[in-house]
Structures are given as C-alpha cells and as structure tokens.
A and B are shown apart, each in its own frame.
Chain A
Amino acid sequence: GQQLNQSPQSMFIQEGEDVSMNCTSSSIFNTWLWYKQDPGEGPVLLIALYKAGELTSNGRLTAQFGITRKDSFLNISASIPSDVGIYFCAGQLTGNQFYFGTGTSLTVIP
C-alpha cells in the first residue's frame, strides 16, 4: 500500500515553543488531513486541506498542502500541555482509501 513518511517520530518540547511536523509521499494526493489522537481515544480531525498550496489555520494550528501535492506540514504555535498526544497525517488519492502516516508523538514539558 501507499506509504506516508511522517516526521519526526517523536518530539519533546518546552511549553510555549512552536512545533512543526510533516508528511511526505511518493504519490500525489488530492486531500490531506491532520488528526490528533489522545491515548485510548479515536483520532480527532484538526485540519482538512483540499487544494495544492492551501494554507489553513485552526486556532494555534496551521497546516499547508504542499505545492507538489506530495507533502503537507502542521505547525503548532505556543504549545500548551494539552497539545500532548499523537498527531497523524492522512492523505487521499483519487479513489477511496485514506492512507495514514505513522504518527508524531508530542510531549510538552510544563
């Protein structure tokens, strides 16, 4: 199946710092989604991107759909303790399946 390379795998940051993570693929996607998952719960949609070059914000979160359509990044500004969790990217080809990255585990140190 398709492979989404998500990096970094984990991050340990101080409260107040900015965070950046990204996903890359060898395939061209027509949709990029970013999710946050808390332990034992389902992934929650943070941001959805549908057009190449699109830059979308959701509070302190900003995500961009890469121009090449093969990548996307997520930034979190001024991190707070409740940002802790695992962040997943997901990409959709023209078709039916959504492919998920391997996740970025974020730890925020107060």
Chain B
Amino acid sequence: DSGVTQTPKHLITATGQRVTLRCSPRSGDLSVYWYQQSLDQGLQFLIQYYNGEERAKGNILERFSAQQFPDLHSELNLSSLELGDSALYFCASSVGTGTGGNTIYFGEGSWLTVV
C-alpha cells in the first residue's frame, strides 16, 4: 500500500459525458501528479500540483482539468469524453516540488472506460 488513494477504481461512462477522478496523497506529501496510461502504453504525464498551485503541465487535453484543494486532495475532471479517453489514470504524490531527493508514489489507478 503506497498510501495514495484513488477513487473510483472503475468507471464506465458514455461518450460526451463528464467524470471526476479523486486522489488523496500520502500523508505529508504536498505534490500531486496525474498520469494517463492507455492500453500497452507508457505513463503520460498530465499535470502536477504543489500545495494547491499548478506546477507543471504535460500533455493534458483542454477538455481535462485538475485542481488541488486546501486539504491537498486533488481531482481530475474529464469532460466531453471520447472513446480514446479510455485509459488507466494514475495519481501519484511526493513530498516536495520535485527538486531533488524526491520519490513519487503511485495510487492503484482509476480505470475509465468510455462507451
């Protein structure tokens, strides 16, 4: 158990819909990262938050957005869903901004299936 909690574990929704994925980081971790992993693909970095502020942005679509709340949990919002958005979405957390000596720990992921 990494200490990173993600909900829901599985989600099936229709095209055009909107979903929210939730992540609670490890106790004491201030940074939250979101990654997307499609079938047989590597981990694609989406976005990172540190202590409530956006710190880095990767290949995140405009239809996707995220935020980190004062209690440090984070949500990833996916809207106008398309079939190609079906993937495993991971949240990860680390202690700091990632400026060295940091390690990130992953949650178990949220399986999103768009039908």
Contacts of A103 in B (CB 8 A): 42
Contacts of B109 in A (CB 8 A): 40-42
Which among A1, A50, A96 is the interface contact of B97 at CB below 8 angstroms?
Answer: A96
- In the complex, A31 Cα to B99 Cα: how many Å? 9
Known: A98-B98, A100-B42. A33 touches B103 (CB 8 A): yes
Give chain B interface residues in 86-100, CB to chain A under 8 Å: 88, 90, 97-100
Task: Please determine whether A99 and B111 come into contact, CB atoms closer than 8 angstroms.
Answer: no
Which among B4, B45, B107 is the interface contact of A97 at CB below 8 angstroms?
Answer: B45
Of the listed stretches A13-21, A59-67, A71-79, A87-95, chain B binds A87-95
Task: Please determine whether B101 and A31 come into contact, CB atoms closer than 8 angstroms.
Answer: yes
Task: Please determine whether A30 and B100 come into contact, CB atoms closer than 8 angstroms.
Answer: yes
- In the complex, A40 Cα to B90 Cα: how many Å? 11
Give chain B interface residues in 67-111, CB to chain A under 8 Å: 88, 90, 97-109, 111
Known: A1-B58, A40-B88, A44-B2. A98 touches B42 (CB 8 A): no
Closest to B57 in A: A97
Contacts of A48 in B (CB 8 A): 103
A-B contacts at CB below 8 angstroms, number: 72
A8 within 8 A of B: no
Closest to B4 in A: A42
Task: Please determine whether A42 and B98 come into contact, CB atoms closer than 8 angstroms.
Answer: no
Task: Please determine whether B98 and A92 come into contact, CB atoms closer than 8 angstroms.
Answer: yes
- In the complex, A79 Cα to B45 Cα: how many Å? 31
B residues near A (Cβ < 8 Å) are: 2, 4, 31, 33, 35, 42-43, 45, 48, 50, 55-56, 58-59, 88, 90, 97-109, 111
A residues near B (Cβ < 8 Å) are: 1, 30-31, 33, 35, 40-45, 48, 50, 88, 90, 92, 94-103
Between-chain CB contacts (< 8 Å), 14 pairs: A42-B90, A42-B109, A44-B2, A44-B106, A45-B105, A45-B106, A90-B104, A92-B102, A94-B99, A94-B100, A96-B99, A101-B42, A102-B42, A103-B42
